[in-house]
Amino acid sequence: MVCVMSLFLETAKVLVIGLAVALLANQLSPKGLMLGRDYFKESTRPLARKSPSEPSSSHRVAELSNEQVWSLFQDPGYREGRIVFVDARKESFFIEGHIPDAYPLDRFYPEKDLPAVLVAGLPAERVVVYCAGGTCEDSHYAALQLIEAGLEPSRVQVYAGGITDWMSHSWPMERGVRGSGLIGHFPP
């Protein structure tokens, strides 16, 4: 009986002190999560419709096919900054390879990249957000972050196929930071 009591007492000590240490460590860690932030928050603003006949979705941003994305990429407006691409994957993946001239925006740490994306995105006619593709939802949540930050919802769209689809077509990629000039056709 005494043995069981001492076990529970010891476990309680581990739990209480452990949770306090864990909270402190998260706060001190540069990679720590913001405890008050809802990382899966849906938009409170009305979003774009895919077509005039479709009702506005409450939490899904309009999606673009790969043909639409490719034609936007080739549009002169892309070079002029009227069309902006945003990469919503984490920084290490961005460095490995991204759509040329895309802006990085890690949605878990938006403070770092959001100002630059807003400067480019606010005057732009179209903002295309992508992530890995497939089941990845980071592009949707990053798009919602941009809309919450002030971008016009009808101008923000998601490239559903993401970088996986882009690479499967052997379309050009840029390695390193944005504007590094290290552009090539990397195999999928």
Partner 1 sequence: MIFAVFPVFPSAGRRVTGWAARCVLGGCFVYLGLNKTLNPGDFLKAVHEYGFVKQSLHLTWIAAVLPWFEVFCGVLLLMGIWVRGTAFSVLGMLLFFSALVLHRALRLHEASGIPFWEIRFDCGCGNGPVLVGRKLVENTVWAAVSLALVLSRKR
Would you tell me which residues interact with partner 1 (CB under 8 A)? Answer: 3, 6-7, 9-15, 17-19, 21-23, 25-26, 29, 31-41, 90, 106-109, 138
Report the alpha-carbon angle 94-120-150, nearest 5. 105
Is the CA virtual torsion 85, 91, 97, 101 positive or negative? positive
> Least distance in Å: CB of 114 to partner 1?
15
Is the CA virtual torsion 166, 170, 174, 176 positive or negative? positive
> Least distance in Å: CB of 127 to partner 1?
21
Nearer to partner 1 among residue 11 and residue 71 (C-beta): 11
Which amino acid type is present at position 56? S
> Least distance in Å: CB of 27 to partner 1?
9
Angstrom distance (rounded) from CA 120 to CA 166: 22
Nearer to partner 1 among residue 10 and residue 96 (C-beta): 10
Angstrom distance (rounded) from CA 61 to CA 169: 24
> Least distance in Å: CB of 108 to partner 1?
4
Nearer to partner 1 among residue 11 and residue 154 (C-beta): 11
Nearer to partner 1 among residue 38 and residue 111 (C-beta): 38
